[in-house]
Amino acid sequence: MRVVTIIILLFLCKTADLRKTRNGSFRNKANNGKASRLRKASSTVKRYAPGLPCDIYTYLHEKYLDCQERKLMFVSPSWPEDLKHMLLARNRIRKLKNNMFSKYKLLKSLDLQQNEIGKIESEAFFGLSKLTTLLLQHNQIKILSEEVFIYMPFLSYLRLYDNPWHCTCDLETLITMLQLPANRNLGNYAKCALPTELKDQKLKQIKIEHLCSEEERLHPKSIVKKPKIAKPEFDSSLCHIYVFPVQTLDCKRKELKKVPGNIPPDIVKLDMSNNKIKQLQAKEFEDISELKILNLSGNGIVYIDPAAFSGLINLEELDLSNNSLQNFEYGVLEDLYFLKLLWLRENPWRCDYNIHYLFYWLRHHYSVHYNGLECKMPEEYKGWSVGKYIRSYYEECPKDKLPVYPETDKEDEEWERHKEQSVQTIKKHGVIVTVIG
């Protein structure tokens, strides 16, 4: 009797499921059958912004973004944060990058079907703590780890079919997850494309023990779950790796005199505070381009090569407090496109012409928050903010002789030119003459 009941229940679930995706068009679980009504309701659709090709509308008190079939390759940072449903089907998105949706914390459903997604980074869905429905069918995903789903505790409806799944050891965690009884609505109908002996088998039904060979089981290092630590130069006994909440390499207080080589490339946070690194050489961090937080506090750094931070295009926080920095050479900050926070406290900033680069870079990048930019030397400016020193520097000159740093946008071009051409600056009687040549 019990068995029969269970079978009937399963059957009902399955048909309900089928109904939901009858013809591949998006239908939120909760909104079963409302699509046509939605379309009618769209006479009240409001354009989000002139020239922006996506529709934003509210239906039953929930905000929708309809950006289907717009040749999109990226998610726009300018969509409203209170979206509940995001329809991005039939675009050209290839890669889901870490934190790509983290702004959209209220999102309940995300439709990414029929794109060209081949790679999903491990924190691509970070912040989607309310998401219940995720549609990824008809893409190019071969491998995916269970890890990407940990940020979506309420995910109850997941579509993965029509992706060329490579059913190898790398897929073990995902398949194990899909086969849990509680995950009945996750990943139905998805099938292996490779290897040939598993072709067309459903992920839901594969026997896990067929995935990993004996060899891989005995040496599970090759499984993606573990961070790749085994690199020759990098001394993993000295620094510790943490995986959650973000990939972190903790090297604080290790008496390091240099930045260690071969840091694992997926490190997001690197703490090298309180070591003895006196200088930063060119390209010290080139191979860890995922890095977002770098702590170099308390090292006694006296010199930073202008190319030291090259390649750190994702860096958001940089702590240089408690060092021996007097200024930044021209160029030091140029690669840090996404910098948000910069700690400069407790450095012996010297207020002379060499501090201007740092000050003006910060002024031109007003989204960067910083602290501790205070003159410590020479004696006459001690305790002044660097901004005050720079104002006084110009007050000494008659206004019409101020050739540098006007307030307008032209200034950005000026800076660009500074970068490209060789620039000599000569200080003459407190007036800067810029010689471009």
> Residues interacting with ligand NAG, by CB under 6 A?
22-23, 25, 252, 273-274, 295, 297-298, 300, 317, 319, 322
CB of 262 vs ligand NAG, minimal distance in Å: 23
CB of 74 vs ligand NAG, minimal distance in Å: 28
CB of 321 vs ligand NAG, minimal distance in Å: 7
First vs last C-alpha separation in the chain: 91
> CA–CA distance from 65 to each of 31, 136, 190, 232, 256 (Å)?
15, 17, 27, 48, 50
CB of 3 vs ligand NAG, minimal distance in Å: 34
CB of 23 vs ligand NAG, minimal distance in Å: 4
Q: How far apart are CA 401 and CA 176, in angstroms?
A: 72
CB of 274 vs ligand NAG, minimal distance in Å: 5
* Nearer residue to ligand NAG within complex by CB, 145 or 275: 275
* Nearer residue to ligand NAG within complex by CB, 114 or 322: 322
* Nearer residue to ligand NAG within complex by CB, 211 or 294: 294
CB of 390 vs ligand NAG, minimal distance in Å: 26
* Nearer residue to ligand NAG within complex by CB, 172 or 319: 319
Residue 248, beta-bridge partner list: 242, 269
* Nearer residue to ligand NAG within complex by CB, 167 or 344: 344
* Nearer residue to ligand NAG within complex by CB, 173 or 247: 247
CB of 255 vs ligand NAG, minimal distance in Å: 11
10 Å Cβ neighbour count for 128?
24
* Nearer residue to ligand NAG within complex by CB, 5 or 23: 23
Closest residue (Cβ) to ligand NAG? Answer: 298
* Nearer residue to ligand NAG within complex by CB, 42 or 354: 42
State the burial class of residue 61 (Cβ atoms within 10 Å of its Cβ: 0-12, 13-18, 19+).
exposed
